[in-house]
Amino acid sequence: MASEKFIKNSENWEELGGGVSRQFQGWDNQIMMVKVKFEKGAVGSPHHHFHTQATYCAAGKFEFTIDGEKSLIEVGEGVYIAPNVLHSAVCLEAGILIDVFSPVREDFLDGTAISYFGDKK
């Protein structure tokens, strides 16, 4: 189970609604990288998952809340989210986040949950 070797910017964008879209950037059983575009004002609702997550802000400005602590994250900065920790984000300036998950987010691949909008289970 793995993605294609090369992923081009214009391919495979998935519209999630609420001003959010994503593109898988590469994955296998151990790791997944996802590029996520947010329009200004879009919200990643509070949610949690068992995956470890690291996120890099490639564009825009976001207010993250992780385990009750808020911080402004701008271009070139990142966040670490431990497994099962409640977290959310509000897009203050249209932007792009690069999310890395370990292990792979199988729920993203099979469509059972879109955690950006809260747990759907």
pLDDT value, residue 119 = 41
How many of the other CB atoms lie within 10 Å of CB of 20? 20
> How many alpha carbons lie under 13 Å from residue 32 in its C-beta half-sphere?
21
Please report where in the chains the tokens 């151990």 appear, as a residue.
30
How far apart, in whole angstroms, are the C-alpha atoms of residue 52 and residue 55?
10
Where the chain has pLDDT below 50, the residues are 118-121
CA distance 18 to 51: 23
Phi-psi region of 10 (alpha: psi -120 to 50; beta: other; left: phi over 0): alpha
Summarize pLDDT for 38-64 with one digit per residue, the tens.
Answer: 999 999 999 999 999 999 999 999 999
Spatial separation of the C-alpha atoms in residues 3 and 38, rounded to whole Å: 23
**Residues 6+ away with beta carbon under 8 Å from 83:** 49, 50, 51, 52
- Domains and their CATH numbers in the chain: 16-113 (2.60.120.10)
Q: What's the pLDDT at 111?
A: 72
Long-range contacts of 14-17 (CB under 8 A, 24+ apart): 16/114, 16/116, 16/117, 17/117
pLDDT at 115: 55
The model's pTM is 0.89
